[in-house]
Amino acid sequence: MKTVVKGRNQVKVANLSELPVEIGKKVIVNGKAIALFKLANGKVRATANSCPHKQGPLAEGIVSGDHVFCPLHDRKISLEDGLVQKPDFGCVKTYEVTVMGDDIYIRLRD
């Protein structure tokens, strides 16, 4: 279900109440696997659900602060900007998240 929120093309992906704290949730949007995370501070982040190293499913990773650790090879990835932390390298696509009441939306972009 697509909608326009604050003048931006966004799609509802989940309800905040169904998203556990520091546990990833995989959703599919327009055929793309996206990982959603509710952090301990209440913020919600969204990234592609694939580590750039060996395509590990990030929604199954361990969340610590503003980072997720890939479940395959423990790469530490920022949920803020998608950058893989040194000494490793790479980047994961991130999505802008808007929470309105209990609804979680992500901004669609190419």
Q: Which amino acid is at 15?
A: N
Position 108 scores a pLDDT of 80
Q: Which token pair is 100?
A: 């309105």
List % helix, strand, coil for the chain (3-state, nearest 5). 5, 50, 45
Indicate if the pLDDT at residue 42 is higher than 60: yes
Q: Using one digit for the tens of pLDDT, what is the confidence trace for 52-74?
A: 988 999 999 999 999 999 999 99
> For residues 16 and 98, what is the distance between their CA atoms, to the nearest angstrom?
11
Output the average pLDDT for the chain.
91
- Tell me how far apart the alpha carbons of residues 72 and 109 are, in angstroms, rounded to a whole number: 28
Q: How many structural domains is the chain composed of?
A: 1
CATH number, residue 14: 2.102.10.10
Peptide bond before 57: cis, by omega within 30 degrees of 0?
no
Range of 94's domain? 2-107
Q: What's the pTM value of the predicted model, to 2 decimals?
A: 0.89
